[in-house]
Amino acid sequence: MHMTPRKHPHDPNEMDRRRETAEPASTSPVTSLEAKIAELEAAAAEAKDRHLRLAADFDNYKKRSRQEQLETIQHASAELIARLLPALDDLHKALDHKPAGIDEPWVKGVELSVRKLEEALGAHGLEAIDAVGKRFDPSVHEAIGHEESAEQPEDTVLQVLRRGYRLRDRVVRPALVKVARRPAVSDSSSDDSD
């Protein structure tokens, strides 16, 4: 026997039952699609947030790398400059103690060379620490002696024995200085009583 599909239902309630079962099925795909959309939107928001965090981390990494590279270059130049300072000191001493009768153009040539060296080092951030007449500052001065002085206030730098230098904001070498001290007060009242 061959079965053919029924075109007309025999049971009048059969059609209502089909509609009832079909309606929940038709709302179920919409609900599941809305849930899927919400899930995808949350995943997209999370991916965007992760992307923004990674971009910020990468930007911080680039800044940190640039700063480390700059510090490495500055550290290398500071080491080179510190090695050149004794030679600069020797040239200054030679000029300060030039013998009598020396050829003046030769002296001018050496002075020019010293000035050029100081300018070249200054272009890299080296500057001499100003000391004479300033208040003693242990962060930039190293006191290796004192001298009694009634004219200068106590702890004033009187003499620089070796120049000090700073490279940008960092002291490469402190200045060796002599510092003023108040004169010792003699006890004249005990001398009068004898």
pLDDT digits (tens, 9 = 90+) for 64-91: 999 988 888 777 788 888 888 999 999 9
Q: Which helix (H) or strand (E) holds 6?
A: none
153 falls within a domain: yes
The structural domain count of the chain equals: 1
Instruction: Report the chain's C-alpha Rg in angstroms.
Output: 44
| Rounded-to-integer distance, Cα 127 and Cα 106, Å | 26
- Residue 118 maps to a domain: no
Domain encompassing residue 131: 126-184
Could you give the percent of the chain with pLDDT greater than 90? 23
Question: Does any domain span residue 36?
Answer: no
Cα 44 to chain centroid distance, Å, stands at 38
Ranges assigned E (strand) in 57-134: 126-128
Domain assignment present for residue 29? The answer is: no
In a domain, 157, yes or no: yes
Q: Are 91 and 110 in contact (CB under 8 A)?
A: yes
Q: Is the pTM of this model over 0.75?
A: no
Residue 158 domain-assigned (yes or no): yes
Q: Give the CATH number of the domain where residue 152 resides.
A: 2.30.22.10
Residue 150 lies in a domain: yes
Could you tell me the two tokens for 78? 């500071």
